Structure 1
Amino acid sequence: MSWWRGSLKGLAPIESRIDLQLLQDSWRITPGSVLPQIPALLLLAWMVKDSPLPRWHWVTPAIGLLLLWATVGLMSRRFQRFGIAASGYRTWRASLVGWHLLQSLFWGLMGVALLSVATAGWKMSLVAAVVVYGYTLMLVLVHDWIVGFFGSFPLLLLISARLLVDNEDSSVYLAVVLMLSMVTCMFISSGISRRLREGALLRHENAALVLQLRHEINQVTLAKALAEGADRQKSEFFAAASHDLRQPLHVMMLLTNALNPWVTQAEGQDLLSKISTSLRSLSTLFERMFDVASIDAERVEHQPQALALSTLYRRLEHEFAVLCANKGLSWQVDATDAWVQADPHITERILRNLLNNAVRYTHQGQVRLRARVRGRWVICQVWDSGVGVAPEHRERIFDDYFQAHSTARRSGEGLGLGLAVVRRLARLGRVQVTVRSRLGRGSCFSLRLPLREAIAAPSPNAGTLNQDDHKDPHQRGVVVVIDDEPQVLDSMALVLRQNGWQAATGHTPEIAVEAVAALQTSGEMPLGDLPVAVISDYRLGLSITGLEAIAQLRYEFGEDLPAFLLTADATADLGSRAAGVGVTLLRKPLNPSELIRILNAA
Structure 2
Amino acid sequence: MTWLRRSLRGLSPIEARIDLQMLQDSWRTAPGGMIGQFIGLVLMGWMIRDWPVQHWRWMVPATGLLIVWAIVVMMARHFRRFGIPASGYERWRLALLWWHGAQGTSWGLMAVALLGEASSDWRLTFVAAIIVYCYTIMLVTVHDWAVSFMGASPLLVLAAGRLLVDHAPSSNYLAVVMIISLTTCMIVSLNISRRLREGALLRHENADLVLQLRDEINKVTQAKARAETADRQKSEFFASASHDLRQPLHVMMLLSSALKPHVEATEGATLLSKIHTALGSLSTMFEKMFDVARIDAQRIDYKAQALPLAALWSRLDNEFSVLCENKGLHWRMDTTDDWVHADPHVLERILRNLLNNAVRYTEQGEVRLRARARGPSIVCQIWDTGVGVQRQHRHRIFEDYFQASNQGRRSNEGLGLGLAVVRRLSMLGPTPVTLLSRPGRGSCFAVRVPRLIPAGAEGLVTRHAEAPTRPTSASARHTEPHKRERHGGVIVLIDDEPDVLDGTSLVLQQQGWQVAAASTPDGAMDAVIHLQEQGLMPEGDMPAALISDHRLGLSINGLDAIKQLRYEFGDELPAFLLTGEATPGLANDAQAVRVQLLHKPIQADRLLRLLQEVTEDAA
**Residues 494 and 521 of structure 2 are in contact (CA less than 8 Å); yes or no, is this contact kept in structure 1?**
yes
Deviation, 1:20, is 0.6
Secondary structure (helix, strand or coil) at the match of 1:380 reads strand
Please give the per-residue CA displacement for 1:248-307, whole angstroms capped at 9, x wherever unaligned. Answer: 111111111111111112221111111111111111111111111111111112222232
2:557 matches 1:551:
no
Percent identity at matched positions? 61
Deviates more, 1:279-288 or 1:473-482: 473-482
Alpha-carbon distance in structure 1 between the residues aligned to 2:378 and 2:27: 80
Alpha-carbon distance in structure 2 between the residues aligned to 1:43 and 1:354: 99
Q: How does 1:192-591 map to 2 (within 5 A)?
A: 192-406=192-406, 409-453=409-453, 454=457, 456=460, 457-458=463-464, 460-462=466-468, 476-591=488-603
Please give the per-residue CA displacement for 1:4-32, whole angstroms capped at 9, x wherever unaligned. Answer: 21111222211111111111111111111
Residues 548 and 225 from structure 1, CA distance in 2 versus in 1: closer, same or farther, beyond 3 angstroms? same
Q: Which residue of 1 aligns with 2:125?
A: 125
Deviates more, 1:204-213 or 1:143-152: 143-152
Q: Which residue of 2 aligns with 1:141?
A: 141
Secondary structure (helix, strand or coil) at the match of 1:368 reads strand
Deviation, 1:482, is 0.6
Secondary structure (helix, strand or coil) at the match of 1:137 reads helix
Q: Which residue of 1 aligns with 2:153?
A: 153
Alpha-carbon distance in structure 2 between the residues aligned to 1:408 and 1:64: 98
Alpha-carbon distance in structure 2 between the residues aligned to 1:305 and 1:45: 96
Secondary structure (helix, strand or coil) at the match of 1:444 reads strand
Deviation, 1:206, is 0.8
Deviation, 1:338, is 2.3
Letter in 1 for 2:178: L
Alpha-carbon distance in structure 2 between the residues aligned to 1:371 and 1:459: 14
Alpha-carbon distance in structure 2 between the residues aligned to 1:562 and 1:92: 93
Please give the per-residue CA displacement for 1:343-399, whole angstroms capped at 9, x wherever unaligned. Answer: 221111111111111111111111112223344433221111111111222221111
Letter in 1 for 2:108: G
Secondary structure (helix, strand or coil) at the match of 1:7 reads coil
Q: Which residue of 1 aligns with 2:83?
A: 83
**Residues 164 and 175 of structure 2 are in contact (CA less than 8 Å); yes or no, is this contact kept in structure 1?**
yes
Letter in 2 for 1:90: E
Q: Which residue of 1 aligns with 2:6?
A: 6
Letter in 2 for 1:335: T
Secondary structure (helix, strand or coil) at the match of 2:451 reads strand
Letter in 1 for 2:358: A
Residues 400 and 169 from structure 1, CA distance in 2 versus in 1: closer, same or farther, beyond 3 angstroms? same
Alpha-carbon distance in structure 2 between the residues aligned to 1:171 and 1:476: 136
Alpha-carbon distance in structure 2 between the residues aligned to 1:10 and 1:542: 76
**Residues 533 and 561 of structure 1 are in contact (CA less than 8 Å); yes or no, is this contact kept in structure 2?**
yes
**Residues 257 and 592 of structure 1 are in contact (CA less than 8 Å); yes or no, is this contact kept in structure 2?**
yes
Deviation, 1:601, is 1.3
Q: Which residue of 2 aligns with 1:176?
A: 176
Secondary structure (helix, strand or coil) at the match of 1:303 reads coil
Deviates more, 1:116-125 or 1:316-325: 316-325
Q: Which residue of 1 aligns with 2:473?
A: none
Alpha-carbon distance in structure 2 between the residues aligned to 1:231 and 1:135: 68
Q: Which residue of 2 aligns with 1:593?
A: 605
Deviation, 1:339, is 2.4
**Residues 291 and 421 of structure 1 are in contact (CA less than 8 Å); yes or no, is this contact kept in structure 2?**
yes
Deviation, 1:431, is 0.9
Secondary structure (helix, strand or coil) at the match of 1:400 reads coil
Deviates more, 1:210-219 or 1:196-205: 196-205
Letter in 2 for 1:569: E
Please give the per-residue CA displacement for 1:301-322, whole angstroms capped at 9, x wherever unaligned. Answer: 2222232222222222222222
Q: Which residue of 2 aligns with 1:100?
A: 100
Deviation, 1:421, is 0.9
Secondary structure (helix, strand or coil) at the match of 1:458 reads helix
Deviates more, 1:249-258 or 1:378-387: 378-387
Please give the per-residue CA displacement for 1:23-54, whole angstroms capped at 9, x wherever unaligned. Answer: 11111111111111111111111111122111
Secondary structure (helix, strand or coil) at the match of 1:524 reads coil
**Residues 336 and 465 of structure 2 are in contact (CA less than 8 Å); yes or no, is this contact kept in structure 1?**
no
**Residues 430 and 449 of structure 2 are in contact (CA less than 8 Å); yes or no, is this contact kept in structure 1?**
no
Deviation, 1:511, is 1.0
**Residues 311 and 463 of structure 1 are in contact (CA less than 8 Å); yes or no, is this contact kept in structure 2?**
no
Letter in 2 for 1:519: L
Residues 424 and 596 from structure 1, CA distance in 2 versus in 1: closer, same or farther, beyond 3 angstroms? same
Letter in 2 for 1:115: L
Q: Which residue of 2 aligns with 1:57?
A: 57
Letter in 1 for 2:76: S
Residues 591 and 475 from structure 1, CA distance in 2 versus in 1: closer, same or farther, beyond 3 angstroms? closer
Alpha-carbon distance in structure 2 between the residues aligned to 1:331 and 1:259: 31
Structure 1 vs Structure 2 CA RMSD? 1.9
Alpha-carbon distance in structure 2 between the residues aligned to 1:597 and 1:452: 32
Secondary structure (helix, strand or coil) at the match of 1:513 reads helix
Deviates more, 1:400-409 or 1:454-463: 454-463
Alpha-carbon distance in structure 2 between the residues aligned to 1:495 and 1:285: 24
Secondary structure (helix, strand or coil) at the match of 1:369 reads strand
Secondary structure (helix, strand or coil) at the match of 1:367 reads strand
Deviation, 1:3, is 2.2
Letter in 2 for 1:504: A
Letter in 2 for 1:458: H
Alpha-carbon distance in structure 2 between the residues aligned to 1:450 and 1:139: 73
**Residues 493 and 516 of structure 2 are in contact (CA less than 8 Å); yes or no, is this contact kept in structure 1?**
yes
Secondary structure (helix, strand or coil) at the match of 1:167 reads coil
Letter in 2 for 1:594: R
Letter in 2 for 1:567: T
Please give the per-residue CA displacement for 1:44-98, whole angstroms capped at 9, x wherever unaligned. Answer: 1111112211111122122222222122111111111111111111111111111
Alpha-carbon distance in structure 2 between the residues aligned to 1:554 and 1:60: 115
Secondary structure (helix, strand or coil) at the match of 2:606 reads helix
Alpha-carbon distance in structure 2 between the residues aligned to 1:185 and 1:429: 74
Q: Which residue of 2 aligns with 1:20?
A: 20
State the aligned residue count.
Answer: 599
Alpha-carbon distance in structure 2 between the residues aligned to 1:90 and 1:341: 79
Alpha-carbon distance in structure 1 between the residues aligned to 2:401 and 2:200: 56
Residues 375 and 20 from structure 1, CA distance in 2 versus in 1: closer, same or farther, beyond 3 angstroms? closer
Residues 373 and 45 from structure 1, CA distance in 2 versus in 1: closer, same or farther, beyond 3 angstroms? closer
Unaligned 5+ segments in structure 2 are 471-476, 615-619
Normalising by structure 1, report the TM-score.
0.96
Letter in 2 for 1:91: R
Residues 24 and 103 from structure 1, CA distance in 2 versus in 1: closer, same or farther, beyond 3 angstroms? same
Residues 193 and 376 from structure 1, CA distance in 2 versus in 1: closer, same or farther, beyond 3 angstroms? closer
Unaligned 5+ segments in structure 1 are none
Deviation, 1:104, is 1.0
Deviates more, 1:121-130 or 1:453-462: 453-462
Residues 316 and 110 from structure 1, CA distance in 2 versus in 1: closer, same or farther, beyond 3 angstroms? same
